[in-house]
Amino acid sequence: MYDTYSIELDEEILDTENMEMIDQKYYIGCYLHIRVENILLFHNKIHLNTFMKYESNEISNYLSDQGNIWVPKIDILQLHILSDDTYTVVVKTFWIKIIQRSWKRVYKQRQRSIQIMKTLNNIRKREIGKINAINLPSIYGLLTN
């Protein structure tokens, strides 16, 4: 069972409600989908420290209570302030899943390369000075492949 009061207290201490919203900045929170105009409106946010301290279902319940709407999930949102001061968002959470999938593939390649470097033949080559250059894939350039 979540404790709304403790989350509210944390949010007041972190003073996120009075924080000025900045265009193009990323926030953790929820949005409303306006189907008629097909836009995503910024609804509510929560501070990163609060997000890390509580479970996601507790935070969803807190955000639902704050806005009197049901919040199905919490997303990473990039805020876009339009010329008429409308706060719209672009959901960025899906990129995390893409990066995780790509990193899983690269991590397997790294593990295979390390196993090859551990073979007796490669260890012997390194001992006598024949350096066998094996390229270890990394996070740099992960999404360009």
pLDDT per position as a tens digit, 46-103: 887 777 787 777 888 888 777 677 766 788 899 999 999 889 999 888 777 778 888 8
**Total domain count, the chain:** 2
Apex 67 CA angle, 63 and 71, nearest 5: 50
Q: Count the alpha carbons within 13 Å of 67 in the hemisphere toward its beta carbon.
A: 20
25/52 same-domain check: yes
Which pTM does this prediction carry? 0.58
- Give the model's pLDDT for residue 84: 92
28/73 same-domain check: yes
Task: Look up residue 124 and give its two tokens.
Answer: 């012997």
- In terms of residue numbers, what domain contains 48? 4-91
State the pLDDT confidence band at 1, using cuts at 50, 70 and 90: very low
27/77 same-domain check: yes
Boundary residue ending a domain (91, 110, 130) = 91
Tell me if 134 sits within 8 A of 113, measured CB to CB: yes
64/119 same-domain check: no
Per-residue pLDDT reduced to its tens digit, 31-42: 888 888 888 888
25/83 same-domain check: yes
Task: Look up residue 131 and give its two tokens.
Answer: 């350096």
Task: For the beta carbon of residue 121, count every other beta carbon within 10 angstroms.
Answer: 8
- Give the model's pLDDT for residue 14: 58
- Give the model's pLDDT for residue 33: 86
Tell me if 101 sits within 8 A of 70, measured CB to CB: no
> Higher pLDDT residue, 82 or 142?
82
Instruction: Write the single-letter amino acid at 105.
Output: R
